[in-house]
Amino acid sequence: MKVKTAPLEKKKPIRVFYWLIVIVLLALTLFFGRNSFLKMAQKKLEVAKLQSKVERLKAENDSLRKENQDLKTDPAVIEKIAREQFGYQKSDEKVFRFLPDNGGNQTQKSKQSDAEGK
């Protein structure tokens, strides 16, 4: 009895092509699909950035909560804010305010006018 091997050899290129298609589709899905490795890495980076932002906002929130509590309960803080931001003063004191120099523009103009007058 003879065994025929010809049909197996005809099927071999079809199997190789089939497995090649399966591997290509699997690779495309793993690297470029909706839940691919690349997108998962991007999402992990985004989560890390958002977590750091949440921590920063929590710290800012705690700071504002403490400032709010101080403003409600501490008379020294209330007085400091009233003096600095609203210009309040006690009846027996004088307040001196110093304006910024604006980069020396005023002194340069007065020097120019003095030089022109001479």
**pLDDT: which is higher, 10 or 93:** 93
CA pair distance 117, 66, nearest whole angstrom: 58
Tell me the average pLDDT of the chain.
Answer: 82
Tell me, what's the pLDDT at 68? 94
pLDDT for 56 beyond 90: yes
Tell me, what's the pLDDT at 1? 53
**pLDDT: which is higher, 30 or 108:** 30
CA pair distance 42, 69, nearest whole angstrom: 40
Find how far residue 100's CA is from the centre of its chain.
Answer: 33
Average pLDDT over residues 70-77: 92
The pLDDT tens digits for 16-41 are: 889 999 999 888 888 787 788 888 89
* CA distances to 41, 76, 82 from 72, in Å: 47, 11, 13
Average pLDDT over residues 67-82: 91
Q: For the chain, where are the alpha helices, taking DSSP H only?
A: 6-32, 37-73, 75-86, 105-117
